[in-house]
Amino acid sequence: LNNKLTSLIAKNYNISVENICLVNSGTSGLLACISILMDEIPKDNAKITIGVPAWSFIATAQVPYFLGAQIQFIDVNSNGFVNPPCNLILDILIVTSPFGEQINKKYWENYAEQTGTKIVFDCAAAFDTVTPCKFASVVSTHATKGFSTGEGGFVISNDSQLIAKIRSFSNF
């Protein structure tokens, strides 16, 4: 079933199955992504700063808290998107997709290049609008979402090596 669902989702996004990893929940997808990004930062977890939108589902902040990172809550703009100040130094930034709105991936690619900040997209409700890119995007398939498997989710990215690490972390 895992392989069949992975194949169907890959077909939906016109990408390879190597670019998708099924997870048991959106929260565990965030946990895998952020853990892997934190492992790439040469600091103790307690010294890693993760930007979290001030307006989001609680799990968005629970994951960095659980991992022992410093959390920096960031205001959102009138559209609900995180809006970090130019002078804010972050190791990782979680960008959420409010109500499944499409994220401007090019903007965040430029932001990451200019600041050196690692990015992960929390696209819990964005099954219909998420688009694969070099960053990991976490999509929930919980019973409350437009595309539901009852519980679960997936991580999608054009970076198959990142997805391989996430798959190894999630042990599916």
pTM of the model: 0.93
Residue with tokens 């959106």: 26
Q: How confident is the model at residue 142 (pLDDT cuts 50, 70, 90)?
A: confident
Residue 148 confidence (pLDDT) above 70: no
DSSP 8-state symbol, 76: B
The whole-number pLDDT of residue 30 equals 96
Q: Is pLDDT above 70 for 172?
A: no
List Cβ<8 Å contacts ≥24 apart for 106-114.
108/135, 109/133, 109/134, 109/135, 111/84
Spatial contact of 9 and 137, defined as CB atoms under 8 Å apart: no
Residue 78's pLDDT band, with cuts at 50, 70 and 90, is confident
Average pLDDT over residues 66-86: 90
Secondary structure of the chain: what % helix, strand, coil (to 5)? 40, 20, 40
What mean pLDDT is predicted for residues 148-168?
Answer: 91
Q: In whole angstroms, what is the distance from residue 28 CA to residue 170 CA?
A: 8
Mean pLDDT of 32-58: 95
Residue type at 38 in one-letter notation: M
